[in-house]
Each structure stands twice: as structure tokens, then as C-alpha cells.
Structure 1
Amino acid sequence: MPDTTSTQTVLSELHTLRDKVTGLTDSAVASVDGILIASDTDEVRPDVLAALAAAALGLGKSTGKEVGMGELREVVTRCQSGHIVVYAIADSALLVILGDEGLDVARLHLESRPAVVRLRETLSA
């Protein structure tokens, strides 16, 4: 589990993403086994979100490996009322993003990929 300074850095990264990406409603960082590290959520239960995102990430990794498409970057799920996007942070953590129907997915990918690199550095420190 990250220390208080690392957790604050992760939260700052989540808040920055929310500010930069139209339609982003909730986000969290968790370990690949579903343990919540930090969250920026309003109406979603962050511990449940972390566990389900870990399951989605695991399934995406297994599918990518099985079909020979290389290392997983993200899993995107489009629902009736929005999007769920899970990004791999190295082999030990994940970033999960929830967005409404107006989520700017292209902007999300542009902003999230460098954020994943920064989160990886923060969590490995």
C-alpha cells in the first residue's frame, strides 16, 4: 500500500484527469488484485469499482495474450449511459475511468497514457 504522500500524488493525478477530460465522472487506481489505492468518485463504491476493474483487466490481458496481440494497454467498455476504461499500470496496478455519454474518449487516451506513466513512477517509488 502506498504511503500518504504517494496516495496524495495519485489523487492529484486523478483530479487533473477529471479537469482535463470532458465527460469523465469517476476514477480510481487499484492493484491488479482489486485492492483500492485511491479514488475520485462521487456515486460509485470505489472498493467495488476497484475489484471489478481488476477482473476486466485480467480478462483483457488473458484475451490479448491468447490471440497474440501483445501487451494490453487498455480495456474499453461502452455502455448505454457511458464508458468504462481500464488502463494497465505496469504489471501491478490499474487506472479505471468512468465517463458519461459525452466522454471525450480521444482526449481521455491522450491524457491518460502520460498519466499512467506518472502513476507507474509514483507507485514504484
Structure 2
Amino acid sequence: MTNEAVLTELQALREQVTGVSDAAVASSDGLLVASDTGEVRPDVLAALAAAALGLSKSAGKEVGMGELREVTIRCAGGHIVVYAVRDKNLLVVLGDEGLDIAHLHLQSRPVVDRLAKLLNPA
């Protein structure tokens, strides 16, 4: 049931934000939990997102900027955004060049909170 609820969150995010093409949730060590992807290999996406998140967390700690919220990568063909979901999970979102990053961040924050509750019930 948890995976179905996670997948529902991913699909809703794609519907709410124009330009979102793919999304996945993974553990912070790169193991795929759920994905809403097309041509992207979700297991590879999960592993790469975990590496980006880990490196960025280390950088944030090193420079004293506090807890990492997200990593945004802009490529020639679009965007890769990785959100920390507490310490143990992550949400990775892919978007095309027309993706409104500010709108994505606004819509993703409550999704991250709900994912945290689904994946790490207290």
C-alpha cells in the first residue's frame, strides 16, 4: 500500500506542474522505492540522485549552510531536481526546459512532507 500511495503522489505532482516528465522516490543509498518514469531507467535515476544528494549534503555541511533541502541541476535539455525526504529518502523530479522551477518547489514541499510520513511513519 505504501508504494501505491507514493506512486499516487508522483503522478499528482506530474499533473500539477507543467514540464515535469519523470519522478521517482528512492532511499538515500539509491534503492528505488517507486517511479513514474517514461524512457528513463528508474533504478539508474535513483542511484544518480542519491549520489547527487549525498555530495550536496556534504558540501552544505562543510560550508555551514545547514540541512540540505534540494539540489537543482540545469542541463541543456531540462532540469533534474532532487529533494531530501528526511535523512533516509529522496524525491527526484525531471523536467523539460520549460519547467517553472519556482512552481515546482512550491508544489513539491507538501509532497515531500507527505512522502516523509508515508515512508517513515512515527
CA-CA distance at 1:102 after TM superposition = 0.7
Secondary structure at the residue paired with 1:44? coil
Distance 1:94 1:103 in 2: 20
CA RMSD of aligned residues (A): 0.4
Secondary structure at the residue paired with 1:101? coil
Aligned pair 1:88/2:94, yes or no?
no
2:2 counterpart (2, 6, 15): 6
Distance 2:53 2:29 in 1: 10
CA-CA distance at 1:53 after TM superposition = 0.1
Aligned pair 1:22/2:15, yes or no?
no
Question: Which structure 1 residue ranges, 4+ long, deviate > 3 Å from structure 2?
Answer: none
Distance 1:124 1:81 in 2: 34
Distance 2:61 2:43 in 1: 27
Q: What letter corresponds to residue 36 of structure 1 in structure 2?
A: L
CA-CA distance at 1:124 after TM superposition = 1.1
Distance 2:19 2:103 in 1: 10
Aligned pairs, number: 121
2:27 counterpart (26, 31, 38): 31
Q: What letter corresponds to residue 10 of structure 1 in structure 2?
A: V
Secondary structure at the residue paired with 1:96? strand
Aligned pair 1:48/2:48, yes or no?
no
CA-CA distance at 1:89 after TM superposition = 0.2
Secondary structure at the residue paired with 2:22? strand
Structure 2 unmatched ranges of 5 or more: none
Secondary structure at the residue paired with 1:83? strand
CA-CA distance at 1:104 after TM superposition = 1.2
Q: What letter corresponds to residue 26 of structure 2 in structure 1?
A: A
Q: What letter corresponds to residue 29 of structure 2 in structure 1?
A: D
2:118 counterpart (119, 122, 125): 122
Q: What letter corresponds to residue 102 of structure 1 in structure 2?
A: G
The corresponding residue for 1:63 is 59
Structure 1 unmatched ranges of 5 or more: none
Distance 1:62 1:29 in 2: 21
For normalisation by structure 1, the TM-score amounts to: 0.96
CA-CA distance at 1:120 after TM superposition = 0.1
